[in-house]
Structure 1
Amino acid sequence: MRVTLGTSPSAPGGENEDFAAAAPGAAVLLDGAGVADAETGCVHGVAWFSGTLGALLLGTITARPAWPLAECLADAIRVTRSLHEDTCDVRHRASPTSTVVAVRVQGGRLDHLVLGDSSLLLAEQGGRLFPITDRRLDEVGARLRGRVDDLPTGSPEHAAALAEYRDTLTSLRNRPGGFWIAGPDPFAAEHALTGAVQLDSLTSVTLLSDGATRLVDRFGLASWDDTLALLDSAGPDELIHQTRKAEDSDPHGRRWPRGKAHDDATALHWALL
């Protein structure tokens, strides 16, 4: 098992709300989400939530190999909730949440789970790639973000439109017709995308936060094949470096409209051969 991991906060010295970790035969990646500068009801913050949930999830999927990954996630959500429900308002509509990607080797297969807009990239022998991304948030967001994309990123007008957009998104999370993400309710785990593939059919497994997939799905500067080639040759840090260069070339989001000029970016690349 050879794992390389790269991560970078959206701003130098800033708090990184992504979390990624690996254990023998397992790996997790989470991208914490909150409403910027808004009340969440949690005294700990988004980074605490994603880090705590991620550590508990990795421990559960390795300690409970017979449990399905969705059950492991539901259990980790329950335990995380128990750790702060006495000090925080876990029923707050903007309580911290997180995307989740998890993989585990079990009986000659690789089980996988994706919830929220982070991605899993499976590379098969023969060169075929299978990206798995939960697009439900993107589909909801596409209906709502018109004004956000029409305004320069970082402008006061953009900030106001973004706040309104995020507030509307918050009202649609973890409900039918909206999107699903890990938060205080274990029920969300039942809506994760799950599956399994034969381990010996794969050459690598890559877990990516949406900040690390921008070259492909936001900027259109690279394909998934390009991304895998870069990871194999130079590693996750170079992928993030190339992403930062693209972001810096368009600081106001005129070429590539987006909510944040820079985003936390994390990639965990697991080479199997």
Structure 2
Amino acid sequence: MPGFAIAEAAGVGPDGHDRPSEDVVVVLPDAVVLLDGASTSRTDLPSGGAYARELAAQVAARLSAAPELDLAHLLAGAIRSVARHNGFAPGESPSSTVSIVRWDERIVEALVLADSPVAVFLADAVEVVADDRLRHLRPGSYRDRLSAGGGFGHDHVTALRESAERVARFRNQEDGFWVAEAVPAAAHRAMRASWHRADVRTVLMATDGVSCGVDDYGVFDSWDGMRALAAAEGPQAVLAAVRAAESSDPDGRRWPRAKPHDDQALVQIDFE
């Protein structure tokens, strides 16, 4: 079994108030599941974190009971089960990202649905499995207001809610983005990759509260830089470096974002 190191930290809500993390990590003997429940202002539905926890349990049960199943089929079944159990319908359901890394004696495979990327370090390269469709979909974004100096606060929460309502129209649509919600077919739109296990050295799995350190903030010049810090000081040091960058931009002007601090989860899997 490979070695593991996991770091997690709760962020804050869009209003800046503390609340429980909506990230979920499940470690199995031959797989890791990482989910990031989507925050929502709706009070008539369970939270994204509650949805992520229930979906993670369903995915983990299927991975354990039927390890031979294709990952997309497995995830589709889990999404269907959660939707049926709760009476969720498309557009009337919480949602979550899903990343799965699974391995056996020969193969390491990854599935990424929405923005929780997986970085796989080989002997002489790093390959990133990322789903950036949501990143490129920002109609009427609240980010414009932050860039102009609007800051976080009541008006930000209002702008974020309005932006989320516009983006929701593109959820699980051909011209939009795909995420775990109440559409099982979304699982088959996930990004996929696999490698010979003998070629894999390390895998990093991150929610976007951590991957932003590479993708947005420039805290790390590459995934290699993140891996180096995690190897030297542990994954908690990676989370702290990202959080320090956010603290240096308290109004979100430099790095417009939904919350002053997002939830963070980072999993380091060492195959060497």
TM-score by length of 1: 0.91
* CA RMSD of superposed structures (Å): 1.7
Q: Which amino acid aligns with 2:20?
A: E
> What displacement does 1:157 show?
3.4
In structure 1, C-alpha distance between the alignment counterparts of 2:154 and 2:26, rounded to whole Å: 37
Question: Equivalent residue for 1:3?
Answer: 4
**1:136 match: secondary structure:** coil
- For the 8 Å contact 1:19–1:54, the answer to whether it is kept is yes
Name the counterpart of 2:245: 246
Aligned to 1:27: 32
- In the alignment, does 2:228 pair up with 1:229? yes
Tell me the residue number matched to 1:130: 127
1:170 shift after superposition: 1.0
Cα 1:13/1:158, change in 2 over 3 Å: closer
CA distance in 2, matches of 1:194, 1:106: 16
Tell me how far 1:52 sits from its aligned partner.
1.2
Q: Structure 1 residues 45, 212: closer, same or farther in 2, change over 3 A?
A: same
The answer to whether the 8 A contact 2:219-2:242 is kept is no
CA shift for structure 1 position 140: 1.1
Specify the alignment match of 1:214 in structure 2: 212
Partners in 2 of 1:144 and 1:62 — Cα distance?
43
Gaps of 5+ in 1: none
Unaligned runs of 5+ in 2: none
CA offsets 1:66-120 (integer angstroms, 9 cap, x no match): 21100110111122223322xxxx1273521000100111350112100001110
The structure 2 residue matched to 1:38, chosen from 33, 37, 42, is: 42
In 2, the alpha carbon distance for the partners of 1:237 and 1:219 equals 17
1:177 alignment partner, one of 171, 175, 179: 175
Structure 1: distance between partners of 2:92 and 2:246: 28
Letter in structure 2 aligned against 1:260: K
Contact 1:153 1:258 in 2 (8 A): no
CA distance in 2, matches of 1:253, 1:15: 22
Deviations 1:103-147 (CA, angstroms, capped at 9, x unpaired): 111350112100001110100013x21122101001112x54253
**Distance (whole Å) between structure 2 residues aligned to residue 261 and residue 70 of structure 1:** 33
Instruction: Between 49-58 and 263-272, report the one with greater CA deviation.
Output: 49-58
Who is 1:95 aligned against?
93
Shift of 1:13: 5.4
Q: Deviations over 1:183-236 (max 9, x none)?
A: 012111111111211111011111100001121111112121110101111222
Residue 61 (structure 2) pairs with residue 59 (structure 1): yes
Which residue is equivalent to 2:194? Answer: 196
* Number of residue-to-residue matches in the alignment: 264
CA distance in 2, matches of 1:133, 1:246: 22
Q: What is the identity percentage for the equivalent residue pairs of Structure 1 and Structure 2?
A: 30
Q: Distance in 2 between matches of 1:96 and 1:148?
A: 26
Pairing 1:163-174 to 2, within 5 Å after superposition = 163-174=161-172
Residues 94 and 219 of structure 1, relative CA distance in 2, 3 Å threshold: farther
User: What is the CA–CA distance in structure 1 between the aligned matches of 2:160 and 2:209, rounded to whole Å?
Assistant: 17
* Structure 1 partner of 2:257: 258
1:201 partner letter: D
Contact 1:109 1:198 in 2 (8 A): yes
SS of alignment partner, residue 138 of structure 1 = coil
Among candidates 15, 20, 24, match of residue 15 of structure 1: 20
For normalisation by structure 2, the TM-score amounts to 0.91
* Counterparts of 2:102 and 2:197, CA distance in 1: 10
| Equivalent pair of 2:52/2:96 in contact (CA under 8 Å) | yes
Q: Distance in 2 between matches of 1:200 and 1:63?
A: 26
| Alignment correspondent of 1:105 | 103
Answer whether contact 1:121 1:207 (CA < 8 A) is retained. Answer: yes
How far 1:48 sits from its partner (Å)?
Answer: 1.3
Q: Which amino acid aligns with 1:271?
A: D
Residue 161 of structure 1, CA deviation: 2.1
Counterpart CA distance in 1 for 2:39 and 2:117 is: 19
